[in-house]
Structures are given as structure tokens and as C-alpha cells.
Chains A and B, each alone.
Chain A
Amino acid sequence: AQKVTQAQTEISVVEKEDVTLDCVYETRDTTYYLFWYKQPPSGELVFLIRRNSFDEQNEISGRYSWNFQKSTSSFNFTITASQVVDSAVYFCALSEVIQGAQKLVFGQGTRLTINP
């Protein structure tokens, strides 16, 4: 079963539009961590946020905001007033214990294109 699902494969919007990237996860653990990473064309992963399972407070960082809802197992990411520099692939990831080992599992990624 897919642990982390990012149903949106590609999203294309015009600059200054708001855009939300969806992430749905599946886990049996009561303690787990969720992450969002940005991967620009150069390939390196840029850490955006980490959220633990006990903290459902929404987070805002500049134009970025995250909505964590345990009831729906979702951890969505919104970019407000998007800019061309936001174009990248965005990954949602889940850190949980699998067979006694802590592992970070990624979703399929969403390719976001911001058009000028």
C-alpha cells in the first residue's frame, strides 16, 4: 500500500496565483513525522518543514503554509502569490518505524510550474 500519496502529478499556474499541493499519508504508528521537500532542477533536496504527529497546528512561513489534519491523514502545502522561482518538484515524506527501523518514505512528487 502506498504510504504517501501525492495525487497531483503536475500543476501549472500563472504567477501570483495561490496553489495547494495535496499529500495524504498512511501509517499505523501513533508517533510519526511528516516532511515537505523542494527539489529544483539541480536535484538537491531543500528541506521545507517537519511536523510531528502530535502537533496539528497549522504553520505559516512567509508565502508558504501547511495544513495538517490527522482526521483525514493529510498534510497539504499552500504557496500564496506564487512566483516563477517556486517552480520545482515538491515531495511529501513520512518518517515512521518500519520493521524496527526508522525510515523516510517519499510520495510520488508534484511537479509545479509557475508561468510568468
Chain B
Amino acid sequence: GAVVSQHPSRVICKSGTSVKIECRSLDFQATTMFWYRQFPKQSLMLMATSNEGSKATYEQGVEKDKFLINHASLTLSTLTVTSAHPEDSSFYICSARGPSFYGYTFGSGTRLTVV
């Protein structure tokens, strides 16, 4: 079946540093990818939608300069959390639209802890 590989699965970083999370579709092309954030015991909140070759579209309240999204190829999207702070600690999960038109394939998530 379709697989989306997300790395790293877990990362701890110091406050003020930047962290990059990769999301790669392994056996299908994903023109659209989504990034979600999930705080403990809460739902998945959509942060942004990235389309290959164009700028990401951010949801209301999400700082685009803080959460940089790059979708340079049909199989890779990255989320960079810049100048991370403890309040950015969360579970980040990506999703690729596909392989079927109305299907969504999720990565396994990245647990970010900022100390």
C-alpha cells in the first residue's frame, strides 16, 4: 500500500534553534501535502497545505515565517520550525493526498520537544 515516510520520529532541540521535519511519499506522487499539529489529548489541527512548486497556504493563526514549508518535488515536503520555543513542543504529522484522488496517506508523525 501507499507509504508516507516521516523523519525524524522524535527530536529534542534547544530553544532558539531550528528543526526540519521531512515527509516523503515513497510509491506515489503527491502534488498536495498537509501538515498537522497535535497537542496532547487534542485533535489534529491543520497548519498548512503545500502544493508542489508553489507557496504553501497557511491556516489562520499559523505563523508562516515560523513554520517554513517547502514542497520542491512531487515526493518531498519539509516543515522547518524556526527559532523553536517550548510552546512549539507538539506532535507534527504530515499527510499526502493520494494515491487515489480522495485518499490521504499519513506519515507516522514527529514528536518535537523544545527544551
Q: Which residues of A contact B (CB under 8 A)?
A: 33, 35, 37, 42-45, 47, 50, 52, 91, 95, 101-109, 111
Residues of chain B within 8 A of A108, CB atoms compared? 42-43
Q: Is B49's CB under 8 angstroms from A101's CB?
A: yes
* Residue contact A43 to B111, C-beta cutoff 8 Å: yes
Contact of A44 among B43, B97, B109 (CB under 8 A): B109
Contact with A along B91-115 (1 / 0, CB 8 A): 1010101000011101011010000
- B15 contacts chain A at the CB level, 8 A cutoff: no
What residues on B are CB-neighbors of A104 within 8 Å? 34, 46, 95, 104
Decide: A43 and B109 in contact? CB cutoff 8 A: yes
Q: Shortest distance in angstroms between B38's beta carbon and chain A's nearest beta carbon?
A: 8
Closest to B2 in A: A47
Q: Which residues of A contact B41 (CB under 8 A)?
A: 111
Interface of A is mostly: strand
| Contacting pair B109 A50 (CB below 8 A) | no
Residues of A contacting B43 in the complex (Cβ-Cβ under 8 angstroms): 91, 106-109
Answer whether residue B17 sits at the interface, using C-beta atoms and an 8 A cutoff.
Answer: no
- Measured CB to CB, the nearest residue on chain A to B34 is A104
A50 surroundings in chain B (CB, below 8 A):
102-103
Contacts of B97 in A (CB 8 A): 102
Bitwise, B38-56 to A at CB < 8 A (1) or not (0) is: 0001111110010000000
Given contacts A52-B102, A91-B44, A104-B104, 10 further A-B contacts (CB under 8 A): A37-B106, A43-B91, A43-B93, A44-B106, A45-B106, A45-B109, A102-B32, A102-B102, A106-B43, A111-B41
Question: Distance in Å from the Cβ of A59 to the closest Cβ of chain B?
Answer: 16
Enumerate chain A residues within 8 angstroms of B104, measured Cβ to Cβ: 35, 95, 104
Q: Decide if B57 is an interface residue (CB 8 Å cutoff).
A: yes
B42 cross-chain contacts in A, Cβ below 8 A? 108-109
